[in-house]
Amino acid sequence: AQKVTQAQTEISVVEKEDVTLDCVYETRDTTYYLFWYKQPPSGELVFLIRRNSFDEQNEISGRYSWNFQKSTSSFNFTITASQVVDSAVYFCASANQAGTALIFGKGTTLSVSS
């Protein structure tokens, strides 16, 4: 069975600090998909990224970057120069194949203060 672990429950940083959110996944499948979502206080889920198991390239999108390492079963998310608007709950999730439901980690609450 799949499992996603986000060991960090809460993180507090000051604006402009860099912050990394950890995600460790477990799966027996050779093909799987990993996701990151942001949930601001308003409650909606905002899609950030999807990564396929066969694509270990790291990705950068503005201040966001993701480090996918199959050797350690990790898919970590880094926010560079954090801003107050980054304050939210961040969820890491996985799916064992396209078109199936997601398994979510418990989430990491990020608080960025000015």
Partner 1 sequence: SAVISQKPSRDICQRGTSLTIQCQVDSQVTMMFWYRQQPGQSLTLIATANQGSEATYESGFVIDKFPISRPNLTFSTLTVSNMSPEDSSIYLCSVNGQGRWHTEAFFGQGTRLTVV
Between 3 and 16, CB nearer to partner 1: 3
**Least distance from C-beta 28 to partner 1, angstroms?**
19
Between 10 and 15, CB nearer to partner 1: 10
Between 55 and 114, CB nearer to partner 1: 55
**Least distance from C-beta 16 to partner 1, angstroms?**
28
CA–CA separation, 68 vs 74, rounded Å?
6
Per-residue CA distances from 2 to 53, 60, 105 (Å): 14, 26, 11
**By the criterion CB under 8 A, which residues form the site for partner 1?**
33, 35, 37, 43-45, 47, 50, 52, 91, 93, 95, 98-107
**Least distance from C-beta 95 to partner 1, angstroms?**
7
CA–CA separation, 6 vs 10, rounded Å?
10
